Structure 1
């Protein structure tokens, strides 16, 4: 996938990118924001930490993003090859759309309150749309959680970070998982994994993503992360060569609110996190619920977006005042 100014399969180089800024780091790599001189807008560039993952995983992720290209998936512009910010050695990466609003996780962190209901309904539906499209292409995401749901200027959801994506019939045993995944370094991942996935002989199927979506729905409804911070340490323990995870562990149902579609989304959430994978609904079936609930609340989206933008400005002003106070 390439824009007109980029030849197919030709990576972008340092001569066309400027104003590099690190905007995120994780166990696998770093994400930078940079300005494309010719296109006239900012892009996001994902670079893997050297020695953590083979570079081939980037091209697998690029292939998945291309196959899963739709309105609810982060857009891939092309690839990068160069020396970021003048550093050594040469690195390769993915060039993607830059999401000014960050992730669903960063939205939770800034607001500290449940999201406005129309926005809840739209996010629930857009994530389901993106995941259904992925599954229709015989692909799995493998790491669905708030920090991998990015937001555009109007808080529309875009699925991102396909580093653990696989063709749905492939094997992803613990032996081929990155070290950080096995040790618990990426604690958030465990919170969204189904109980059966902690068996070392488990071969992922689409029901894995559906369970993750159920826990993600809980986060969208409640506006926060599930489970206490110690969850990954106390419940996802290394046990010989496998990981033990007790069954029947789901977060408590969020406090009910009197909104149209609340019961339907809660029922869908509980179906998705059923401990029996065969009882979890397919995304195609889930869309009937999420689309109906979103349609009932669609008219409230403009006002909800406006209110969230005001809250964002308030957070920025508060942080500016704190910085100014410290400077003084």
Structure 2
């Protein structure tokens, strides 16, 4: 996800276009920032506190008062899992919940988007990968 050291910060299905060659292209870098390595393993990322779309926002963006101390590379990994859920199911994450307030409450309670009931288009191996991306703890998400 981060072959270029930029955190998108607003990765949603609406911000991905497909070009003539069938390649995915990201758009809308309004909330993006550069991730600059500082002193060995630490990183500094500066971004907006407000995620672009609550349905795709990593829990740490919703629950933290200080986003500058967050592992920002993992924010986009979470959002990528949400996008994969949407691509494979045809429905946005949290599709069973209409209210942003209820989604936020669920996030504060430690819940994440659920596998749509009875959806045969998401095979178990894909769902297992999506679940890894959607882990509540950023350090447990894939790189």
Query: Smaller-chain TM-score range?
Result: 0.7 to 0.9
Q: Distance in 2 between matches of 1:245 and 1:229?
A: 12
Partner of 1:223: 90
- The structure showing larger relative contact order (alpha-carbon pairs under 8 Å, at least 6 residues apart) is 2
Q: Based on CA coordinates, which of the two structures has the bigger radius of gyration?
A: 1
Alignment pair present for 1:248 and 2:110 = yes
Q: Distance in 2 between matches of 1:258 and 1:223?
A: 9
Cα displacement string for residues 251-292 of structure 1 (whole angstroms, at most 9, x for unaligned residues): 221335388xx322211100000011110001xxxxxxxxxx
1:209 CA drift (Å): 0.3
1:161 CA drift (Å): 1.2
Aligned in 2, Cα 1:167/1:247: closer, same or farther, shift over 3 Å? farther
Which ranges in structure 1 are unaligned for 5 or more consecutive residues? 1-131, 238-243, 283-328
Partner of 2:40: none
Aligned in 2, Cα 1:170/1:251: closer, same or farther, shift over 3 Å? closer
Q: Distance in 2 between matches of 1:220 and 1:150?
A: 12
Q: Which one of 187, 201, 208 corresponds to residue 66 of structure 2?
A: 201
Partner of 2:120: 257
Alignment pair present for 1:233 and 2:101 = yes
- Aligned residue for 2:47, secondary structure, equals coil
Partner of 1:147: 14
TM-score of the aligned structures, taking structure 2 as reference length = 0.76
Partner of 1:70: none
Q: Count how many residue pairs are aligned between Structure 1 and Structure 2.
A: 130
Q: Which one of 172, 176, 181 corresponds to residue 47 of structure 2?
A: 172
Partner of 1:240: none
- Aligned residue for 1:150, secondary structure, equals strand
Question: Following TM superposition, where does structure 1 have runs of at least 4 consecutive aligned residues deviating by more than 6 angstroms?
Answer: none
Q: Distance in 2 between matches of 1:136 and 1:214?
A: 17
- What RMSD in Å do the two structures reach over aligned CA positions? 2.6
